Structure 1
Amino acid sequence: MSEVYVVGAGQTPFGSYPDESYRTLFADAYEAAVDSVEGSIGTSDVDEAMIATLGVGGRQLGLSGPAVTEHVGLHNVPCTRIENACAAGGFAVRQAVQAIKSGMADVVVAGGFEVMTDMSADTTKYWLGVSGETEWERLTGTTFSGVYAQMADAYLERYDATVEDLSRVAVKNHDNGAKNPKAHLGFTCSLEDATNAPAVADPLNLYHCCPTSDGAAVAILASEDVVDEYTDHRVRVAGSGAASDRVGLAERESYTSISATKEAAEQAYGMAGVGADDLDFAEVHDCFAIAELVAYEDLGFCEPGEAATLLRDGKTDIDGELPVNTSGGLKSKGHPIGATGTGQVVEVFDQLTGSAGDRQLEEPRYGLTHNVGGSGGATAVHVFEREVAR
């Protein structure tokens, strides 16, 4: 099977753009991705497109995938719309990898978009809720913050972690997001600010929750047969893993771990031939602060119960041993659902090609993306490698 490479990646700024069309947002991200390709790439080069979107506000109906690909001139290119809640973007990348590895395509666009701020908060909350367990969570009044609050409560009770540790996640990611011109909440915050913010769902407060965002992100993937036509800087998709789990939190064996993440990570590490110790940085799904702490453990960055220590010791800071969410993460960069997973790939591509600006790490080789749907019903994990001369 062919090796797969990311030859271009770009995104819009994430934020609030209620007057923007999802078509124009996608077009801006697609143009940014094309512009990032070193060589020349045209619409006639693209063999297939995988487009991620939840479809907040009813846009899940109809041909929303072809609507954006046709808008950018990808005429007659087969388009598959991917919906896997908040993990849609990660699964779009996975489908693109599979299309190339199968030999059916040489160049595939993996993109995502979402417009979430053009309706009332109550309506948006409804559409976000459909990504969880319907009968026993959403219809009984449980929100996503409520579900993750249950996870946080269980974690804080079981392990040596505090609400202040949740706030440390916010402080770190806002520090990184303040260096990212594409971030929705691109400002810093103090530990005091993040700890004393208004409650949302105890023990989670406002600074422990990601924003509702609009935006789009696109990655362009190519096979080893054609990669040299587009770039001299090879960013290989070294590993791809995915898994699903019970959608409802109450149906799972644990509130303090996401088994789909563990399984997807094991697959991705196995395919890449590396382990967590080989990573230079990671973009993880921090929709709520507790989700980042749980991800540290599920992805093998530390043992169960040690995430808070990893964070307190500064090991996941941008100048630490394993920087996490150099982009600002969902917490600061934003969370336009369909674009989140592909947006993580944009950050990895920028880091591995030396294009991350003030956030640039020193010659990273391996980066990881971790994209979760709902509270853990689906997870996609990818490992990327900056190939060095042999």
Structure 2
Amino acid sequence: MRDAYLVGAGQSAYGAFPSESYRSLFRTAFEDAVASVPNGVETDDVDEAFIGTLGVGGRQLGLSGPAVTEHVGLDGVPCTRVENACAASGFATRQAVQAVKSGMADVVLAGGFEIMTDMSSDATKYWLGVSGETEWERLSGTTFSGVYAQMASAHMEEYGTTREQLSRVAVKNHANGAKNPHAQLGFECSLEDAQSAPVVADPLNLYHCCPTSDGAACALIVSEDVVDDYTDDPIRVAGVGAGSDSVGLFQRDSYTGVPASQRAAETAYEMADIGPEELDFAEVHDCFAIAELLAYEDLGFCEKGEAGEFIESGATELGGDLPVNTSGGLKSKGHPIGATGSGQVVEAFKQLSGKAGDRQVENPTRGLTHNVGGSGGASVIHIFEKETEVSA
């Protein structure tokens, strides 16, 4: 099976853009990705495309993938829309890697997009809610903030996790997002601000929740047979893992972990032949502050129940042992559902290419991206590794 490589990645800004469409945002991301390829790439080179989107708001419910790829000049390129809630473009990236590894394609586009800010708050809640368990969660009035609040409460009760530790996630990610020109909430916040914000779903407050966002992101995955045509500094897709689980939180045995992420991590580490201690940075799915803390434990960054102490230690800050969410994460960078997973890949590409600006990790070799759908119904992980040369 062939190796797959990440040779370019780009994104639009994330935020609220009433003058933009999903097509125009995708064009911005695509052009940014193409421009990032060191030796250049032509649209004629692309063999296939996988595009993630939930389809928030009802626009172009069918064939939304071809709608954006045709718009950027990929006429005739086979395109598949991928929907796995918030993990849509993470799974689109996985599909791109599989297409390359299988030998069916040499150059594949993986991307995603979403427009989320052109609807009323009630409509937005509806479209977000369809990724939860429909009969017993959404239709009974449960929101995602309510679901994650249950997870936070359970973790606090079982392990002594505190509201202050939840708030430290927000402080760290806002500090990183303030260094990211693409971030929607690109400002710093104090611990006092993050602790005193209005309650959304107890124990979660406003600073513990990510925003809704418009945005798009793209990545270009190529085979070992052609990687030399595109870059002299290859970034290998060293490991990929995915998992699924019950869509409804109430259907699971525990509220203090995400089994789909645990299974995805095990597979990705095994494929990459590394352990979590060998990572230099990670982008994890922090739709709510508790989600980042759960990710620390699910991905093996710390022991079960120790996530609160781990965030307090400073290990996940820039300059720490394992910087997490250098982009600002979903909390600060933003969360355009279909673009979130591929947006994490953009950050991995920037970090491993040494182009992350003021948030650059020092001399990174390996990074991980972790993208979750719903409250854990799906999870996908990629491990990217910088190589000095490609094996023959």
Indicate the residue corresponding to 1:205 in structure 2.
205
Matches within 5 A, 1:298-377: 298-377=298-377
Indicate the residue corresponding to 1:56 in structure 2.
56
State the Cα distance separating 1:233 from its structure 2 match: 1.1
Query: Matches of 1:249 and 1:356 in 2, distance apart?
Result: 36
Secondary structure class of the residue paired with 1:139: helix
Secondary structure class of the residue paired with 1:263: helix
Q: Percent identity?
A: 73
Amino acid at match of 2:146: G
State the Cα distance separating 1:18 from its structure 2 match: 2.7
Secondary structure class of the residue paired with 2:127: helix
**Is contact 1:18-1:115 (8 Å) kept?**
no
Indicate the residue corresponding to 1:12 in structure 2.
12
Amino acid at match of 1:339: A
Matches within 5 A, 1:23-62: 23-59=23-59, 61-62=61-62
Indicate the residue corresponding to 2:118 in structure 1.
118
Compared CA separation, residues 131 and 60, structure 1 to 2 (3 A)? farther
State the Cα distance separating 1:20 from its structure 2 match: 1.1
Amino acid at match of 1:5: Y
List per-residue Cα deviations over 1:238-291 (Å, max 9, x = no partner).
000001000000000110000000000011001101110100000000000000
Indicate the residue corresponding to 1:256 in structure 2.
256
List per-residue Cα deviations over 1:6-36 (Å, max 9, x = no partner).
1100000100013311001000000000000
Secondary structure class of the residue paired with 1:236: strand
Secondary structure class of the residue paired with 2:17: coil
State the Cα distance separating 1:110 from its structure 2 match: 0.1
Amino acid at match of 2:191: L
Secondary structure class of the residue paired with 2:186: coil
Query: Matches of 1:119 and 1:251 in 2, distance apart?
Result: 31
Indicate the residue corresponding to 1:190 in structure 2.
190
Amino acid at match of 1:224: E
Query: Matches of 1:155 and 1:13 in 2, distance apart?
Result: 34
**Is contact 1:53-1:60 (8 Å) kept?**
no
Amino acid at match of 1:96: A
Amino acid at match of 1:258: V
Query: Matches of 1:217 and 1:298 in 2, distance apart?
Result: 26
Amino acid at match of 1:227: V
Secondary structure class of the residue paired with 1:89: helix
Query: Matches of 2:40 and 2:384 in 1, distance apart?
Result: 23
**Is contact 1:29-1:217 (8 Å) kept?**
yes
**What are structure 2's unaligned runs of at least 5 residues?**
none
Indicate the residue corresponding to 1:138 in structure 2.
138
Query: Matches of 1:135 and 1:151 in 2, distance apart?
Result: 20
Secondary structure class of the residue paired with 2:125: helix
Amino acid at match of 2:302: C
Secondary structure class of the residue paired with 1:293: helix
TM, length-normalised to structure 2: 0.99
Aligned alpha-carbon RMSD (Å): 0.8
**Is contact 1:52-1:111 (8 Å) kept?**
yes
Indicate the residue corresponding to 2:92 in structure 1.
92
Query: Matches of 2:128 and 2:347 in 1, distance apart?
Result: 25
**Is contact 1:239-1:384 (8 Å) kept?**
yes
Secondary structure class of the residue paired with 2:254: coil
List per-residue Cα deviations over 1:172-218 (Å, max 9, x = no partner).
00000000000000000000000000000000000000000000000
**What are structure 1's unaligned runs of at least 5 residues?**
none
Say if 2:388 is the partner of 1:388. Answer: yes
Query: Matches of 1:200 and 1:281 in 2, distance apart?
Result: 30
List per-residue Cα deviations over 1:287-329 (Å, max 9, x = no partner).
0000000000000001111011111010001110000000000
Amino acid at match of 2:108: V
Amino acid at match of 1:222: V
**Is contact 1:106-1:222 (8 Å) kept?**
yes
Query: Matches of 1:64 and 1:156 in 2, distance apart?
Result: 41
Secondary structure class of the residue paired with 1:9: strand
**Is contact 1:284-1:325 (8 Å) kept?**
yes
Matches within 5 A, 1:152-301: 152-301=152-301
**Is contact 1:108-1:221 (8 Å) kept?**
yes
What is the count of residue pairs matched by the alignment?
390
State the Cα distance separating 1:60 from its structure 2 match: 5.7
Query: Matches of 1:215 and 1:147 in 2, distance apart?
Result: 25
Secondary structure class of the residue paired with 1:8: strand
Indicate the residue corresponding to 1:71 in structure 2.
71
**Is contact 1:18-1:116 (8 Å) kept?**
no
Query: Matches of 2:62 and 2:370 in 1, distance apart?
Result: 29
